[in-house]
């Protein structure tokens, strides 16, 4: 009965028999227990082994406790690991490192630093020295806390213990400085590094991208000796995050030209650029490539494709992909709802939300932004108010400025301007230009000049250089026949040197997106374009003349 309760493996049986016979030394018992720990498959089994360690007076064994802490880390039992560590009177650096690793893996950075400090306090008396396995996790914790002062102190201690030339530690320090936005320190460390690998280059490039030093990041990238898929993906992602979508596509094409095959991460990085530039053909190619490589099994790839199709105007293709997904998450549903909302398909968006509710997929704040936007585009006031209350009182989601913006837009589109102003005044945060701009746009539809003037007063304060707002108000004056006010508005714009933002168009040809700005003659093929336009105009003129002659013959 005793054996059945506590021992389940051959090693357990060997241990108790050897102990009874008195033939195992302490070292032999430790080795036997280590064999059990290597095959430990769950936390319940670990606790039974711990009970036997205590029984055989091995609960202070750093050798065994280090392995047990690693197992707790694997099974996400950080509290039990803390208890194990706390019961050891004299932990060695192996046990310290195991505990530091466990805390860092769980992003419990304050606890990591506390264990490290405890380790240093006993350094000289008990000969517990940090080593090359200690510092990468301690430095990562400093970066996680965004505490550069602490990071610099750890950097000094790295030098003190003679570990500065360790490449893993150097890369950890570089990453810490980048996370803390200390680019000068990162560059200095990079220049002093004994060995620069792909991780070093990628960290520094990422830092420059993060600080929007795009030219320097690109120069480093071009200078980088051995570019990995991570390097290419980092550049693509960096360009996408700062809104340089054309450059993101350019790097993606260059990556393919040099023979580097995209992985699923690089596809997720480039798809937002396709979405913003309307590069539908390239997006379709990525979809085909992802399906061929088996990447569609990853939910994040499908989510990025759904967003791309929706923003490129092909919401039916987005729906088709969405319907084939096996593992949909809240992001999948929220993206699809937003896509349907932007295409005016409010009822389908609402139906999808109701399906989420039935399938117990918990919506988040982004879900409700799409849902409220759908109600706004369709003018569904009652439904919008109902979902706004549902978000607050049933799902306990505090409305953000985007939710309030959707509600103001909905009230404005349905002509409820008094309620819209009342909602704006009740907001817990200051209304932004998007809210006032939305209200101004609705005012023109309903020719509500009084509310338009109120909205414009706020917009002049928030966006004094935005000509679109002045044009909207001027158009409202024109609609109401107030030509003197229109003239004054135009004079005001001229006095402030406000110029209308030039229009632009994007054309995708052979998976390359070309942008054309009104009045821009800088492109090398501009002259050819104008010659073709002149031919088309001339052809149209001749066609019209011929049509008139034919009409005259018929009439005569």
132 pLDDT above the threshold of 80: yes
CB 137 within 8 A of CB 101: yes
CB 378 within 8 A of CB 347: yes
pLDDT in tens, 501-554: 665 666 666 656 666 666 666 656 667 767 777 777 776 555 555 445 444 443
Q: Cα–Cα distance between 77 and 62 in angstroms, integer?
A: 19
Q: Cα–Cα distance between 138 and 103 in angstroms, integer?
A: 10
Q: Cα–Cα distance between 130 and 113 in angstroms, integer?
A: 13
Q: What is the mean pLDDT of residues 86-101?
A: 93
* C-alpha 118 chain-centroid distance: 36
Domain ranges of the chain: 399-504
pLDDT in tens, 113-127: 999 999 988 655 566
Strand-pairing partners, residue 516, are 505
pTM listed for this prediction: 0.79
Q: Cα–Cα distance between 172 and 142 in angstroms, integer?
A: 10
pLDDT of 549 reads 46
Q: Which residue has the higher pLDDT, 533 or 61?
A: 61
Q: What is the mean pLDDT of residues 273-300?
A: 95
Q: Cα–Cα distance between 332 and 322 in angstroms, integer?
A: 8
556 pLDDT above the threshold of 50: no
What's the full length of the chain, in residues? 556
Q: Cα–Cα distance between 48 and 6 in angstroms, integer?
A: 6
Phi first, then psi: what are they for 87, rounded to 5°? -85, -10
Q: Which residue has the higher pLDDT, 27 or 49?
A: 49
Q: Cα–Cα distance between 290 and 303 in angstroms, integer?
A: 12
pLDDT of 477 reads 85
CB 264 within 8 A of CB 232: no
pLDDT of 518 reads 61
pLDDT of 330 reads 95
Strand-pairing partners, residue 513, are 508
Q: Which residue has the tokens 């490539």?
A: 289
Phi-psi region of 78 (alpha: psi -120 to 50; beta: other; left: phi over 0): alpha
CB neighbour class for 238 (10 Å; exposed up to 12, middle 13-18, buried from 19): buried
Decide which of 1.10.3470, 1.25.40, 3.30.450, 1.10.287 is the CATH code for 399-504. Answer: 1.25.40
Among 155, 234, 211, 214, which Cα is nearest to 188's? 155
pLDDT in tens, 431-466: 999 999 999 999 988 999 999 999 999 998 898 888
pLDDT of 416 reads 95
CB 375 within 8 A of CB 409: no
Q: Which residue has the higher pLDDT, 333 or 473?
A: 333
Q: Cα–Cα distance between 47 and 533 in angstroms, integer?
A: 81
Q: What is the mean pLDDT of residues 222-244?
A: 93
257 pLDDT above the threshold of 60: yes
Q: Cα–Cα distance between 387 and 375 in angstroms, integer?
A: 9
Q: What is the mean pLDDT of residues 309-316?
A: 95
Provide the token pair at 297: 């099994």
Percent of the chain surpassing pLDDT 70: 85
Highest mean pLDDT of the ranges 52-56, 180-184, 524-528:
180-184
Helix ranges (DSSP H) in 294-416: 299-311, 315-324, 330-342, 346-358, 365-378, 381-389, 401-413
Contacts 24+ apart (CB under 8 A), 413-418: 413/376, 413/377, 413/379, 413/442, 413/445, 414/379, 414/381, 415/442, 415/446, 416/381, 417/442, 417/443, 417/446, 417/448, 417/451
Provide the token pair at 60: 């202070």
């Amino acid at each position: 009965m005793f054996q059945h309760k506590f021992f389940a493996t051959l090693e357990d049986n060997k241990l108790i028999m050897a102990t009874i016979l008195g033939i195992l030394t302490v070292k032999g018992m430790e080795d036997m227990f280590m064999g059990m720990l290597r095959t430990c498959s769950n936390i319940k089994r670990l606790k039974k082994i711990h009970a036997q360690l205590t029984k055989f007076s091995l609960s202070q064994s750093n050798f065994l406790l280090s392995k047990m802490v690693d197992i707790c880390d694997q099974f996400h039992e950080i509290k039990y690991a803390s208890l194990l560590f706390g019961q050891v009177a004299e932990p060695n650096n192996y046990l310290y490192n195991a505990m530091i690793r466990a805390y860092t893996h769980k992003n419990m950075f304050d606890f990591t630093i506390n264990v490290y400090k405890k380790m240093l306090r006993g350094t000289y008396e008990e000969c517990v020295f940090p080593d090359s396995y200690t510092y990468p996790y301690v430095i990562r914790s400093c970066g996680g806390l965004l505490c550069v002062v602490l990071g610099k102190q750890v950097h000094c201690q790295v030098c003190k213990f003679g570990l500065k030339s360790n490449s893993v530690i150097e890369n950890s320090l570089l990453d810490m400085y980048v996370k803390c936005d200390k680019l000068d320190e990162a560059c200095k460390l990079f220049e002093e590094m004994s060995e620069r690998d792909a991780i070093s280059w990628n960290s520094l490039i990422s830092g420059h991208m993060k600080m929007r030093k795009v030219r320097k990041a690109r120069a480093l990238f071009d200078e980088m000796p051995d570019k990995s898929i991570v390097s290419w993906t980092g550049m693509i992602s960096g360009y996408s995050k700062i809104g340089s979508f054309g450059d993101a596509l350019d790097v993606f094409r260059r990556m393919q030209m040099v023979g580097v095959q995209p992985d699923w991460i690089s596809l997720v990085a480039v798809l937002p650029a396709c979405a913003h530039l309307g590069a539908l053909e390239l997006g379709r190619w990525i979809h085909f490539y992802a399906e061929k490589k088996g990447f569609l099994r990853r939910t994040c790839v499908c989510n990025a494709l759904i967003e791309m199709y929706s923003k490129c105007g092909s919401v039916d293709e987005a729906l088709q992909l969405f319907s084939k997904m096996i593992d949909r998450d809240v992001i999948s549903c929220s993206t699809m709802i937003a896509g349907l909302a932007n295409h005016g398909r409010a009822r389908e968006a609402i139906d999808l939300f109701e399906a989420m509710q039935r399938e117990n997929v918990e919506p988040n704040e982004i879900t409700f932004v799409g849902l409220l936007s759908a109600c706004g585009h369709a003018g569904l006031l009652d439904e919008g108010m109902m979902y706004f209350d549902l978000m607050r009182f049933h799902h306990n989601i505090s409305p953000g400025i985007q939710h309030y913006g959707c509600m103001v837009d909905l009230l404005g589109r349905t002509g409820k301007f008094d309620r819209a102003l009342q909602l704006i005044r009740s907001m817990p945060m200051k209304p932004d230009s998007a809210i006032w701009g939305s209200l101004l746009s609705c005012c023109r539809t309903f020719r509500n000049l009084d509310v338009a003037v109120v909205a414009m007063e706020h917009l002049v304060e928030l966006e004094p250089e935005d000509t679109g707002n002045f044009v909207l108000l001027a158009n409202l004056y024109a609609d109401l026949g107030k030509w003197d006010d229109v003239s004054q508005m135009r004079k005001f714009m001229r006095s402030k040197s406000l110029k209308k933002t030039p229009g632009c168009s994007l054309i995708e040809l052979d998976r390359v997106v070309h942008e054309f700005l009104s009045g821009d003659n800088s492109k090398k093929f501009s002259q050819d374009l104008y010659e073709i336009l002149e031919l088309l105009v001339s052809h149209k003129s001749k066609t019209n003349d011929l049509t008139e002659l034919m009409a005259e013959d018929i009439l005569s």
